[in-house]
Structure 1
Amino acid sequence: MNIKQKDFMISNMIVVIFTILIVLIFYNFITAEFGFDQNNFLPVTLFLLLLGGVLYYFLSAQLFEPLFKSEENIENHIKETLHELNTPVATIQINSKILQKKEKDEKNLSRLNRIDESCDSLLNLYNQMEYSIKEQIDSISTEAFDISEIIEKSLLKHHDLKADISIFYEKKSYIIKADKNGFERVFDNLLINAIKYNKKNGTITIQIKDDILSIKDTGIGIDTKNLFQIFDKYYQENNHSSGVGLGLNIIKAYCDRYKIDIKIDSLKDEWSLFSLNLKGVKWQ
């Protein structure tokens, strides 16, 4: 628990206790003046509840305003910082492309390529952070889009990562209405896991059929006893792999938000199959 959470809890406790004391004082005053019986039970109770609610609202509004203002300032500062980060990275990338056209030396070209790759990573991180902020403040918009475009974009993006793994995908148009950036993150994570946990010269099969998007790999599989916890935050089937175990948790959160049923079938040391039922978000 951080300092702000402690401050909020302490402040809230003070407001609640103060409100209860005021209500009790009014209760004693009313019962002393008018008594308290079956005839006035309902109006007195309603009055005291209303009084407590109004008191809590005005006291908490005054007390919590600095805390909420501080959160708003931090949020605005992060947005501004992200915007400022995006501009110089894009500038570096543009100039790197210009230099690549003029450069002939292989070593220098290799260095420029590494700069490009680093810029891509930074821009990807920028997009992820921007999305996370929008997710926190519930400002994510939904739109109709073709998931085949997302799939092809992800396959191109992770072409170098797959190395000797063969990926089979027959393009099929399928339009859904949801958060497009979020779906891109979901598919990226599914594809990266299928690559990361695959075997040498393994395969990945991606299919869209009967409203189901399925991704099957010929990898290490998932132990049956772990199937119920793989969506937990920080969980990893292979503790020696890179990453922090957030990918499947992100996928589950997205699917829960849009009522997408996700199922997992797996055979240890043989294969894993992730299936997303997109019928609920299908664009009619």
Structure 2
Amino acid sequence: MFRNFFLAIAFFYVVSVLTIVAGVFVLQLQFEIFSIVSLLFIALPFALLLGWMFSKIAIEPLISHFETLERFSKETLHELNIPVSTIKTNAQMLEKGCTDEKARKRIGRIASACELLEARYDELDYLIKSQMQKERIDTVAVAPLLQERCEALQEIYPGVTLACDLEPISLKLDRMGLIKVVDNLIDNAVKNSPKGTTISLRLKAKRLEISDEGRGMDEVELFKVFDRYYQSDDSLPGYGIGLDLVKRYCDRHKIGLSIDSTPGQGTTVTLNLAEVAEDAG
């Protein structure tokens, strides 16, 4: 929508300026009162005025749109905090008074899901703030972070096993963005894996591999997999934006991203972390 709007504004501006210039030459040819340079100086203020008017027409609706969107996001963020806190508090209270082991496990899953909601809350807060300021680059110990995410997500996805084989490594990047990347990749692996299978996280030689034993993808799917809103299977939950976010984050931080997949045998996503390693030049 905005692309067509910008093209229309640019087209009308160019046509208007060309019309003014053509008018200048016509006046020069007809009357020869002023020199071409003089007429161009006369036409310049009109061209600048047109440029200002078109810029105003183009930018003001966008400013209004983004201010409304930002205000709505902040209000939604505030409203989300209340039910999340309520669920968390009541889950803790129920767990204290519960003696049935199965019920305690279910309450534990509710608490884990609430922690995941809190993480998404932090992510949304991060996304809003990142629109107004640069990403915060920290030195991140990756192995503990990955272990923490696996333990949290294992409670949410009890149908699969999350297995970690992690070497210690420190990276210089945006911590919250890395958490989003890892969560998205694990979530995709879970969605495409049958119950009872294993999702492996392997961190060796500055390379992170996340592998599943799911349905895999063919060459056509691999070609489209990073397209925004693309979903190879519409029956799966989600909106097709996870891998697009992953790719944009990796591109920003110079992280090599590749996918190796075979139909019926599973998928491996590899992140080459050499460029953001703490000892990188």
TM-score, structure 1 normalization: 0.75
Aligned partner of 1:196 among 179, 188, 191: 191
Give 2:13's aligned residue.
Answer: 16
**One-letter code aligned to 1:211:** K
Task: Give, in whole Å, the separation in 2 of the partners of 1:227 and 1:63.
Answer: 38
What's the counterpart of residue 245 of structure 2? 250
Inter-CA distance 46–275: structure 2 relative to 1 (3 Å threshold): farther
Equivalents in 1 of 2:42, 2:138: separation in Å?
47
Are 1:33 and 2:19 matched, yes or no?
A: no
Partners of 2:250 and 2:256 within 8 A in 1:
yes
Q: CA, structure 1 residues 220+17, in 2 after alignment: closer, same or farther (shift >3 Å)?
A: closer
Letter in 2 for 1:222: M
Question: SS state of the match for residue 143, structure 2?
Answer: helix
Name the counterpart of 2:162.
167
Q: Which amino acid aligns with 2:207?
A: I
Larger deviation, residues 244-253 vs 54-63:
54-63
Structure 1 equivalent of residue 73 of structure 2: 78
Task: Describe the shift of the 1:15–1:265 C-alpha distance in structure 2 as closer, same or farther (beyond 3 A).
Answer: closer
- Aligned-partner SS, 2:202: strand
Task: Specify the alignment match of 1:93 in structure 2.
Answer: 88
1:15 touches 1:60 (CA, 8 Å); kept in 2?
Answer: no
Deviations 1:184-230 (A, max 9, x none): 11111111222232244322332222221111222222113321111
* Partner Cα distance (1:138, 1:30) in 2: 51
| Residues 228 and 119 (structure 1), Cα distance of their counterparts in 2 relative to 1, 3 Å cut | same
The count of corresponding residues between Structure 1 and Structure 2 is 276
What are the ranges of 5 or more consecutive residues in structure 1 without an aligned counterpart?
A: none
Instruction: Show CA shifts across 1:110-140 (max 9, x none).
Output: 8966764664454344233323323444543
Q: 2 CA distance for matches of 1:201 and 1:116? A: 23
2:212 is the counterpart of 1:227: no
Q: 1:157 to 1:147 in 2, by over 3 A?
A: same
Alpha carbons of 1:114 and 1:169: their partners in 2 closer, same or farther (altered >3 Å)? closer
Work out whether residues 154 and 162 of structure 2, in 8 Å CA contact, stay in contact via their aligned partners in 1: no
Tell which deviates more after alignment, 103-112 or 170-179.
Answer: 103-112
Cα drift, residue 106 of structure 1: 8.4
Q: What is the root-mean-square deviation of aligned Cα atoms in Å?
A: 3.9
Amino acid at match of 1:229: K
**Paired-residue identity, %:** 31
Structure 2 residue identity aligned to 1:226: E
Aligned residues of 1:164 and 1:200 also touching (Cα < 8 A): yes
Greater CA drift, 211-220 or 92-101: 92-101
Distance in 2, matches of 1:133 and 1:123, equals: 15
SS at match of 1:243: coil
- Which region of structure 1 is more displaced relative to structure 2, 86-95 or 204-213? 86-95
How far 1:83 moved relative to its partner?
A: 2.9
Q: Distance in 1 between matches of 2:122 and 2:184?
A: 15
Amino acid across the alignment from 1:35: S
Query: Which segments of 5 or more consecutive residues in structure 2 lack a partner in the other structure?
Result: none
